[in-house]
């Protein structure tokens, strides 16, 4: 089966990893099996390099990896260093341009998969139970539908993380029952997902009755994160409609950062950065002609409610020139999840108005606003 166009999602686990690619005919992510015709999706991770070499062989019948419209990696935790390592290795081994490579947490993959499903699945909140190794834990997905795009976030609590190593099946069953009852008592839940090899022995007979109560839909499987990564790849590639939500977690910026552009119409704003990007990847720059005052106005719109902020960066010392005869390089980047730095440089305007080599910058603390 050839899949055109091509989008791929990977789930990178500590011990095992999985692969999904997009089926343009069924418009669904397809899990790639290690053995043709069998449902064996787990591939020993060993190292990122060895895994990607295996993945490229397994993906050959489905499409040309270097021509993929988007490739998304799902990992347990993202850091600036980890993201850079994955992108660098994927570029070298797969030949995919950096602009088409994305890295996200498993929780964001969970969100991407759930929001690709019919709305009745996520009409209320959605609960993910993960049972891997010695832990049973839960994550709750909240989707706010009162804004466009939707705002999605996940919730964890300490009581939703319980050790189960060495316990008898009935004891694990009781723990799952307790966690489920606690979660369901505080919120309306549309659906429940069970993920992890720990659920394969199906010891949760009593808990299943609790999970299925009140009309909740229950799904079990071990390829959710790879499918969610593939769903995100499809969104980035524009293969199945645009992205309808913004996912906000601990390292995501929650503001849209724009630049007021008075020369293009009343209240016109050029967007530099969009909420939902990881702060360490939130960097952008553009060039603009100055018309009017020697200042640049930035518009900071919070996605989680609150007043829109306006930050004006004055440009003292800028040479006096006619309107539209000063070209500026304008950049914005986040230094942490709630600290923004904006910078403006004078580029002049050709030989007639040479650059003054002046640069102005300012840091904006968004914490607690």
Concatenate the DSSP letters of all residues of 88-133 into one string: HHHHHHH---GGGEEEEEHHHHHHHHHTTS-HHHHSSEEEEEEEET
State the DSSP code for 37.
T
Q: What is the pLDDT of residue 23?
A: 87
Q: What is the pLDDT along the chain (369 residues), one digit of tens a residue?
A: 444 678 999 999 989 999 999 988 888 999 999 887 677 899 999 899 999 999 999 999 988 899 999 999 999 999 999 999 999 999 999 999 999 999 999 999 999 999 999 999 999 999 999 999 889 999 999 999 998 899 999 999 999 999 999 999 999 999 999 999 999 999 999 999 999 999 998 899 999 999 999 999 999 998 999 999 999 999 999 887 778 899 999 899 999 999 998 766 667 899 999 999 999 999 999 999 998 889 999 999 999 888 999 999 999 999 999 999 999 999 999 999 999 999 999 999 999 999 999 999 999 999 866
Burial class (CB in 10 A: 0-12, 13-18, 19+), 66: middle
Does 110-220 match 255-365 in CATH topology? no
Q: What is the pLDDT of residue 2?
A: 44
Q: Which residues contact 127 (CB under 8 A, 6 or more apart)?
A: 138, 139, 140, 141, 180, 183, 189, 191, 192, 193
Q: What is the pLDDT of residue 3?
A: 42
Query: Which class is domain 110-220?
Result: alpha beta
Three-class secondary structure of residue 292 per DSSP = coil
* 325 within 8 A of 263, measured Cβ to Cβ: no
The reply to whether CATH 3.30.420.40 applies to domain 7-105 is yes
Q: What is the pLDDT of residue 159?
A: 96
Q: Where are the domains of the chain?
A: 7-105, 110-220, 255-365
Helix (H) or strand (E) holding 346: strand 339-348
* 287 within 8 A of 328, measured Cβ to Cβ: yes
* 129 within 8 A of 161, measured Cβ to Cβ: no
Q: Which residues contact 272 (CB under 8 A, 6 or more apart)?
A: 257, 258, 259, 284, 285, 286, 330, 332
Q: What is the pLDDT of residue 352?
A: 92
Model confidence, pTM: 0.91
Q: Tell me which fold the domain 255-365 belongs to.
A: Substrate Binding Domain Of DNAk; Chain A, domain 1 (2.60.34)
* 337 within 8 A of 277, measured Cβ to Cβ: no
State the DSSP code for 33.
P
List C-alpha distances in Å: 320 to 263, 309, 328.
18, 29, 14
Helix (H) or strand (E) holding 50: helix 48-59
| 43-49 contact pairs (CB < 8 A, 24+) | 43/16, 43/17, 43/18, 43/19, 44/15, 44/16, 44/17, 45/12, 45/13, 45/14, 45/15, 45/16, 45/17, 48/12, 48/85, 48/86, 48/89, 49/89, 49/93
């Amino acid at each position: 089966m050839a899949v055109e166009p091509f989008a791929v999602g990977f789930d990178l686990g500590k011990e095992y990893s999985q692969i999904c690619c997009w089926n343009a005919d069924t418009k669904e992510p397809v899990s790639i099996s290690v053995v043709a015709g069998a449902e064996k999706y787990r591939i020993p991770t060993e190292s990122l390099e060895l895994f990607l070499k295996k993945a490229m062989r397994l993906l050959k019948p489905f499409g040309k990896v270097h021509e993929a419209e988007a490739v998304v990696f799902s990992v347990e935790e993202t850091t600036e260093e980890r993201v850079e390592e994955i992108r660098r290795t994927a570029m070298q081994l797969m030949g995919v341009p950096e602009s088409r490579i994305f890295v996200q947490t498993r929780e964001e993959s969970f969100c991407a998969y759930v929001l690709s499903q019919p709305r009745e699945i996520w009409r209320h909140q959605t609960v993910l139970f993960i049972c891997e190794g010695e832990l049973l834990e839960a994550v709750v997905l909240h989707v706010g539908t009162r804004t466009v795009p939707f705002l999605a976030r996940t919730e964890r609590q300490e009581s939703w993380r319980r050790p189960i190593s060495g316990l008898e099946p009935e004891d694990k069953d009781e723990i799952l029952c307790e966690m489920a009852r606690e979660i369901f008592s505080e919120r309306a839940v549309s659906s429940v997902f069970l993920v992890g090899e720990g659920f394969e022995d199906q010891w949760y007979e009593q808990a299943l009755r609790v999970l299925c109560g009140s009309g909740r839909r229950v799904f079990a499987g071990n390829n959710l994160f790879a499918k969610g990564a593939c769903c995100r790849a499809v969104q980035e590639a524009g293969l199945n409609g645009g992205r309808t939500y913004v996912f906000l977690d601990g390292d995501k910026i929650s503001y849209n950062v724009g630049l007021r552009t008075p020369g293009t119409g009343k209240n016109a704003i050029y967007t530099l950065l969009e909420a939902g990007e990881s702060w360490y990847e939130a960097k952008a720059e553009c060039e603009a002609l100055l018309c009017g005052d020697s200042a640049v106005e930035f518009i900071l719109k919070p996605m989680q409610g609150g007043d829109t902020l306006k930050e004006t960066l004055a440009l003292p010392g800028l040479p006096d020139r006619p309107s539209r005869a000063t070209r500026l390089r304008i950049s914005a980047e986040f230094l942490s999840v709630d600290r923004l730095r904006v910078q403006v440089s004078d580029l002049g305007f050709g030989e007639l108005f040479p650059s003054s080599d002046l640069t102005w910058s300012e840091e904006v603390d968004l914490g607690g606003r």
